[in-house]
Amino acid sequence: MKPKGISLVEITVVLAIITLLTVIAIPLFNNYQKSAKLKSEARVLAANLRLAQQLAITEQVIYRLKLFPETRNYKIIKSPTEEIVKSVTLASGVRINEIDGLTDNQVQFTTTGGVIETGQIALTNTRHQTSTIQIKPSGYVQINE
Q: What is the pLDDT of residue 88?
A: 96
Q: Encode pLDDT of 33-62 as tens digits.
A: 888 999 999 999 999 999 999 999 999 999
Q: What is the pTM of this model?
A: 0.81
Domain ranges of the chain: 8-144
The CA-based dihedral angle spanning residues 24, 144, 121, 47, taken in that order and rounded to the nearest 10 degrees? -100
Beta bridge partners of 108: 64
Backbone torsion region of residue 78, taken as left when φ is above 0, otherwise alpha when ψ lies between -120 and 50, otherwise beta: beta
Q: Encode pLDDT of 109-128 as tens digits.
A: 999 999 999 999 999 999 99
Question: What's the pLDDT band for 27 if we cut at 50, 70, 90?
Answer: confident
Measuring CA to CA, how many Å separate 37 from each of 24, 57, 75, 125?
Answer: 21, 30, 20, 8
Fold of 8-144: minor pseudopilin epsh fold (3.55.40)
